[in-house]
Amino acid sequence: MEPPQARPGRQADPLADAAIRLFALAGTDALGHGVARHLGLTLSRHEERDFEDGEHKTRALDPVCGADVYLLHSLHGDAAGSANDRLCRLLFFIGACKDAGAARVTAIAPYLCYGRKDRRTKPNDPVTTRYVATLFEAVGTDRLVTMDVHDEAAFENAFRRRTVALTAVPLLVTSIRSLTADAGRLCVVSPDLGGGKRAERLRGALEEATGRPVGTAFAEKHRSGGQVSGDLFVGDVAGATCIVIDDMVSTGGTLARAARAARGGGARQVVACVTHGLFSAGAETVLAEPAIDRILMTDTVPPVRLPDGPARRKLEVVSAAPLFAEAIRRLHRDLPLSDLFVF
């Protein structure tokens, strides 16, 4: 997506005639600067202060009274802070902006924490996605924008405010096309049955972009007590370039299993595509798996946890900034978002 063009004779700010504020909290500033650049804006100024006992505060330095405010913060954990810490900082900043008179506050959480705990799988289990939704509502959040949630139906049902769940599919398709221009037949692989809808979205978008048929395959996966099992693989992948698609990668085990299964079925090469690269401990070893040729991911989570080595050298990062910028532009102007989605 191209950034909006500046009006002749005016500052390169397509939203300069309206009260809009875009903030990016520490740890998400690189993505924030990219979003601001695509909007023709500069990030609004704020202060983040940490106290000796671990408490903190965040306040806007640019006025927000009467403004349409967008707060960008990805809610993953890293060496600088846990997911809980990032969530708390964002919530408190939302509340502070509402208290300061902001007309509307939209939380932009490129990666939304606790999305995997959206239902009970054992007696007395928490439904943490719903509790997180309640916290956002409690501080006065008007809208929440995120990308590739774990389960869209559970996410939408958890919130009582407007939510926008973008998908990285439009961003990934361009990179997939460049990587597979001479790859022959393509096949999209879901690493588990639950990801079938996500795989179908990518398959349809690739067919439309390439003008040729794209196949589908599924790998079986069962998880219980932290152990993953399942050996069934369904789909004709012989001689094909397989695109394994998932919403996130943590240890990398799911991607590696699917890649090995595709290779076992005769796949020519395997490209792993994920939106959120969490890369927990050991991922650098698992993702060095020879069955995986390339890894595509967006920058919703910076890949700081993946050290240099074979896995890192397979990685290509695709910027999510253009898509978030376009969503913000349309939300600010109350324009439809429908063509940003892939159904």
The residues assigned a catalytic role are: 221
Per DSSP (E only), the strands in the chain are 20-24, 46-50, 56-60, 68-72, 104-109, 143-147, 162-166, 186-190, 214-219, 222-224, 227-229, 233-234, 241-249, 269-277, 294-298, 315-318
> Can you spell out the DSSP letters for 317-330?
EE--HHHHHHHHHH
71 closest CA partner among 143, 132, 155, 167 = 143
Beta-carbon count within 10 A of 334 CB: 6
Phi, psi of 44 (to 5 degrees): -70, 155
Please answer whether residues 251 and 154 qualify as being in contact, where contact means their C-beta atoms are separated by less than 8 angstroms: no
62 closest CA partner among 120, 28, 19 = 19
Q: Tokens 């740890």 appear where? A: 27
List, in sequence order, every residue forming a beta bridge with 155; answer none if it has no partner: none
N-to-C CA span, the chain: 19
Stretch (H or E) spanning 188: strand 186-190
Phi, psi of 323 (to 5 degrees): -70, -45
Q: Tokens 């000796």 appear where? A: 52
